[in-house]
Structure formats: structure tokens, C-alpha cells
Amino acid sequence: MQIKRRDALKFLGGATLAALADPVFARSKPLKVLILGGTGFIGPHFVNAFKAGGHTLTLFNRGKRDPEADPGIEQLIGDRNGQIDALKGRDWDAVIDNSAYTPKQVILTAELLEGHVKQYVLISSVAAYADFAKAGIDESYRLMKLDDPTVEEVNGQTYGGLKALCEQVAVDIFGKQATLIRPTYIAGPGDYTDRFTYWPVRVSKGGEMLVPGAPSDPFQIIDVRDLADFMRVVVEKNVTGAYNLCAQPRAVTMGSLLDTCKRVTGANTKFTWATPEFLEAQGLIGKDLFAPSGFPLWSPTNSPYWAMPLISPARAVKKGLKFRSLETTIRDTLAWQATRPVENQTLRTGLKPDQEAAALEKLRG
């Protein structure tokens, strides 16, 4: 019998959340929390975290994506691009905006909710930073500026700059009651992009595996449930300001990622390392951050983005950010992958078998 996606996320999120019950969570009175989104990848994990805290949730979305709202959770139907009447005349303690990509979207909701919401939490991205020219980037680092700040098309070149503009709108309207969350790559159960999922799934298949760079190359993610738990901390303790959400720099490397995947899966995989120069010559990686790549979430150490997996989460850690183990993220991601429909078992990213075989043959030659 096929396990429903939302039921799988409840199990994988709720069980581990219960194990994390510690003083990081405030003894908070029940709060009213509005989530702009609440479906897709990260939304259901936010729902799990806040339900565990006994808070009252309202979801605002189009009602088209994963419409199986949890029993007892209010769902308002609308659209970030103008149809927001369902939010009028309502009051909440906090809003979590996890579906904004353009400043116009934030203007519409933030102006409407001003005076009706005490705290505006915007999910931004580390892509909002101007560059990744040094290790240990913190929240004071300069942000990206678009040549044309009126642009509304979201693509690889505009995504980061638009997130920076979204942040500015939230601060302009909510001031000191704005919270800016800048996650790095988000991983874990429910990640339909398959960027992290590629690694444990490919390792589980065994055989010779082409892998990029060197074992010491840094690899940095944030488990979606650690992100969700921190959102609960942020709201319960009214934490404001800007925060990077990522694992500690070098807590994970390409070598430790692959070795842990191998240990968890019990596979007999043999890793064959290839230099960035070789991979670029084969067309398997590009020079641009958002260029198609057969190796998701990995940054070549000779690229302008070499320091992207070395961002500092120190400020969030001081406020209560906790980390699940890499083994937990891998194991739970594989468990979720097994619940997906057959048509979704083929991953959206990573090397295809024929690509990998051809590259390995070329490498041997």
C-alpha cells in the first residue's frame, strides 16, 4: 500500500521532533501563526513543528499543491500575486513567509498584515549574499544588488538579488519585528528537488561511482526539520534580525557524506574521484552557480563559489539552532524516498547512469 506523502512526513518529522524536546523551546503560551505557503517541501515540516508546540495554525496558499490539509488546520485560499483578500481583517501573533520570490509579493502581504501581525518571518536564502569570496560569511556580509531592481523574472541570475529585495521590504515595513532566515541548501524527507537525495540513493545502488573533487571538499546543508524547529524557536521567543541556517562549516565533507551514505545503506560502492577540470571538460559541471550539474550541492574549490559551503551559522546557534546527525538525515531521506510513487523514483538531478559510465570510461582512458 502506498503511504501518503504527508503521513510519511508526519512520521519522519514528528518522531524525531519529540526526541528533541529540550530547553531550546520556550514555555510558550499557544500562539496564532500564519504560514504563507504550508505545502510543498518545507511547509509540512513547519506544520509538524508548530503543532508539536500546541500552536494554532492558518495556511494561506492556492490549494493546488498537496491540498491534504491536516484535520483542524485552517486553510485560506488565495494567491501571492494579488488575490489576498482572505487575509483581510485577521490577526496573528506571527507570520512565516516561505513562498515569496519577488518584493512585490512581500509588499502585498506585509502592508496588509501590518498592525495585524506582531512578527514577520521571511524565509530568504544565502543566495542573497553578493558573492562567496571568503569563508565564514556571517549575516553582516554585503547583499546582492540587481542591475535592474524592477525585474520580476525569477531565474538563476536574479534569484539572489530578488531575495535581498524581499528582505528589504520586510524590514522597511516591520522594522525590528522582522526576522530574516537565510538557509543554505535544504535537505531531508520531502525534498522533491532530489538534490540531496541523489547522494544516498546513488550510493545505495553500489558499484563504481564517479564523485567530484576530493574527500576534503566541504559540503553544507540544513536538515528541513532543523529549519522547522528553529522557526518554532524564533516565534516562541520572538527572535528577530537575520540568521544563516546551515550546518557548521566542515562538519560534513564530501568524503564523510559518501562514507556515511555507504555505512547507512550497507552498499559496496567504490568511489572514483574526478577533478573539477576533468568534469568541466566532460560537460558535467559549469562555471555558473546555477549551471546544470551532475553533482548537486557540491561546489568546486576552484570556482567563485568555493566558500558557499563554508557559511557561519554561529548567530543562529546562539539562539537555539540544533542539528540532527548526518546519518539521521540520510536514513530518513531514504525512508521517505521509498514511499514515493513509482513515477517519482527516478531522480530529477544527478548523473544519469549512461553519463556516469561514459565519464568513468573516459577517466580510465
Q: Where are the alpha helices (DSSP H) in the chain?
A: 5-19, 43-52, 103-113, 159-174, 198-204, 224-236, 254-265, 276-281, 314-319, 326-339, 353-364
pLDDT given at position 33: 98
pLDDT given at position 2: 40
pLDDT given at position 343: 85
pLDDT given at position 287: 75
Cell of 91: 490577526
- Mean pLDDT across the chain, nearest whole number? 91
pLDDT tens digits along 247-269: 999 999 999 999 999 999 999 99
Nearest to 305 by CA among 91, 127, 117: 127
pLDDT given at position 39: 86
Tell me what the mean pLDDT of segment 108-130 comes to.
Answer: 97
pLDDT given at position 302: 87
Binned at pLDDT 50, 70 and 90, residue 68 comes out as low
pLDDT(16) > 80: no
- Return the C-alpha torsion angle 114, 118, 123, 124, nearest 10: 60
pLDDT given at position 184: 98
Backbone angles phi, psi at 149, to 5 degrees: -70, -5
Q: Is the model more confident about 40 or about 268? A: 268
Nearest to 323 by CA among 195, 191, 228: 228
Mapped onto helix, strand or coil, the DSSP state of residue 194 is coil
Distance CA 31, CA 45 (A): 17
pLDDT given at position 63: 78
Least confident of 39-43, 201-205, 229-233: 39-43
pLDDT given at position 19: 41
pLDDT tens digits along 143-171: 999 999 999 999 989 999 999 999 999 99
pLDDT(6) > 70: no
Distance CA 32, CA 56 (A): 5
Binned at pLDDT 50, 70 and 90, residue 335 comes out as very high
pLDDT given at position 288: 73
Binned at pLDDT 50, 70 and 90, residue 23 comes out as low
Distance CA 58, CA 34 (A): 5
pLDDT(15) > 50: no
Task: Specify which residues 228 forms β-bridges with.
Answer: none
Nearest to 341 by CA among 218, 192, 211: 192
Domains in the chain, please, with CATH?
Answer: 5-187+220-250+305-326 (3.40.50.720)
Binned at pLDDT 50, 70 and 90, residue 185 comes out as very high
